[in-house]
Amino acid sequence: MAKRVGIITSGGDAPGMNAAIRAVARRGIFWGYQMIGIKRGFKGLLDYEFMTLTLRSVSGIINTGGTVLHTGRCPEMKTKIGMGRAVKAIKDLGLSAVIIIGGDGSLAAGNSLSKHGIKVINIAASIDNDIYGTDETIGYDTALNTAVEAIDKIRDTAKSHDRVFVVEIMGREHGFLTVDVGLAAGCEYIVVPEMKVDMQKLTAELKKGKERGKTSEIIAFAEGCGCSAEFAKKVEKLTGLDVRVSNLGYIQRGGRPTARTRILASKFGHAAMDLFHKGKANLFVGITNGNVSAVSICEAIKCEKKFDVKTAKIVKNLSV
Ligand SMILES: Nc1ncnc2c1ncn2[C@@H]1O[C@H](COP(=O)(O)OP(=O)(O)OP(=O)(O)O)[C@@H](O)[C@H]1O
Ligand SMILES: O=P(O)(O)OC[C@H]1O[C@](O)(CO)[C@@H](O)[C@@H]1O
Ligand SMILES: [Mg+2]
């Protein structure tokens, strides 16, 4: 009988997860495995919710957002009982390995499972791009493009009304997405958890921008910095300028994956199954300096991704 391999999508959905599922399933089938899709993230694993994936069942999904397996957050996995149930379910289902497609939390789950003797390969997928061991996560480029396109539109109305906008960008407690959005959308400022904001300086610069003839000023504000509406009120009070807020919200998680996201997802999925077939496990698949890479899950968990202050400086230098 063919060995069975499980695929699970976990945490927030990210565009390109489907392309990764397709790649893992097709490469796994090529190597002769039976590919089992676990539904609804780890909650589905605990509830034994699964489906067999075939070459045809993963057809026509490379270009779709969301995840056909569904996903979710399952706090129970962080408990001893939950982890025990997950290990039991994996054994009951006869899975030789589990390929986990998700973000840093999903990586922590992979780490725990591997410590319980389960063979795991994690694939980096999250719009947050906040994981050590990969320069980019699946979904990040798509979310970046979605946010930039939205800010281009906000710019039109901001210019027409001579307004300042505070635009809230997702990213949980990090500013990785925000800084790149800021650069690509030509934002005047970025506010990220990794860098302290000097309100006096920021407001003085906003006013100076106006004096230099700027008709709009946009602050890309990372969700991890607190309440964007309160921040906007503060800015309005300190500057006397007309300030509005726009929270881009969940549109950043949806939509058709960009070509770059699809390429990344396809390469990651293909590599994950090749690694497992070669007898490797407990690895985290990502991209480093343009090449698909694999670091041990342990290492990826231990280290923190460094925030790129240089990019933040470029945003500032160019927003004159
Ligand atoms: N420390 C942990 N131990 C075991 N399982 C964990 C741990 N942290 C997270 N998980 C499991 O992984 C799931 C996904 O984690 P989380 O909700 O943090 O999303 P993520 O994978 O980081 O993705 P994203 O940040 O893109 O939404 C959690 O709901 C939980 O089931
Ligand atoms: O979908 P939920 O549970 O509201 O989570 C929102 C979080 O998920 C993310 O969108 C990542 O998937 C973060 O940027 C955000 O903080
Ligand atoms: Mg996360």
- Structural domain boundaries, residue 177: 141-253
Ligand 1 atom closest to 127 (CA): 26
**In-domain check, residue 318:** no
Quote the pLDDT of residue 151: 98
Q: Is 222 in the pocket of ligand 2 (CB under 6 A)?
A: no
Ligand 2 atom closest to 13 (CA): 12
- Pairing of β 34-38 and β 50-53: antiparallel
Residue 30 sits in a domain whose CATH number is: 3.40.50.450
Same domain, 62 and 105: yes
Q: Report CA(182)–ligand 3 centroid distance (Å).
A: 21
Same domain, 132 and 26: yes
Q: Is 18 in the pocket of ligand 1 (CB under 6 A)?
A: no
Residue 230 sits in a domain whose CATH number is: 3.40.50.460
Interface confidence, given as ipTM, is 0.99
Same domain, 22 and 134: yes
Query: What's the chain's length in residues?
Result: 320
Q: Report CA(41)–ligand 1 centroid distance (Å).
A: 10
**In-domain check, residue 196:** yes
Same domain, 58 and 202: no
Quote the pLDDT of residue 37: 98
Q: Is 147 in the pocket of ligand 2 (CB under 6 A)?
A: no
- For ligand 2, pick from 126, 129, 172, 225 the residue to mutate: most ligand atoms within 8 Å of CB: 172
Q: Report CA(102)–ligand 2 centroid distance (Å).
A: 12
Same domain, 120 and 194: no
Q: Is 172 in the pocket of ligand 2 (CB under 6 A)?
A: yes
Same domain, 229 and 84: no
Domain boundary among 221, 237, 253: 253
Same domain, 124 and 265: yes
Instruction: Pick out the chain residues at pLDDT < 70.
Output: none
- 128 tagged catalytic: yes
Q: Report CA(34)–ligand 2 centroid distance (Å).
A: 32
**In-domain check, residue 213:** yes
Same domain, 247 and 269: no
Same domain, 222 and 263: no
The structure tokens listed for 52 are: 């067999």
Whole-model pTM above 0.90? yes
The ligand with the least distance to the CA atom of 301 is 1
**In-domain check, residue 94:** yes
Ligand 2 atom closest to 250 (CA): 10
Q: Is 126 in the pocket of ligand 2 (CB under 6 A)?
A: yes
Ligand 2 atom closest to 12 (CA): 12
- Give the number of other Cβ atoms within 10 Å of residue 309's Cβ: 12
Looking at the structure of the chain, the number of domains it has is 2
Same domain, 150 and 297: no
**In-domain check, residue 25:** yes
Quote the pLDDT of residue 1: 84
Q: Report CA(217)–ligand 3 centroid distance (Å).
A: 30
**DSSP-assigned beta bridge partners for residue 278:** none
The three state secondary structure string of the chain is CCCEEEEEECCCCCCCHHHHHHHHHHHHHHCCCEEEEECCHHHHHHCCCEEEECCCCCCCCCCCCCCCCCCCCCHHHHCHHHHHHHHHHHHHCCEEEEEEEECHHHHHHHHHHHHCCCCEEEEEECCCCCCCCCCCCECHHHHHHHHHHHHHHHHHHHHHHCCEEEEEECCCCCCHHHHHHHHHCCCCEEECCCCCCCHHHHHHHHHHHHHCCCCCEEEEEEHHHCCHHHHHHHHHHHHCCCEEEEECHHHHHCCCCCHHHHHHHHHHHHHHHHHHHCCCCCEEEEEECCEEEEEEHHHHHHCCCCCCHHHHHHHHHHCC
Same domain, 43 and 115: yes
CA distance linking residue 63 with residue 65, whole number of Å = 7
**In-domain check, residue 311:** no
Same domain, 102 and 37: yes
**In-domain check, residue 149:** yes
- For ligand 1, pick from 9, 42, 73, 115 the residue to mutate: most ligand atoms within 8 Å of CB: 73
Nearest CA among 80, 69, 62 for reference residue 11: 69
**In-domain check, residue 235:** yes
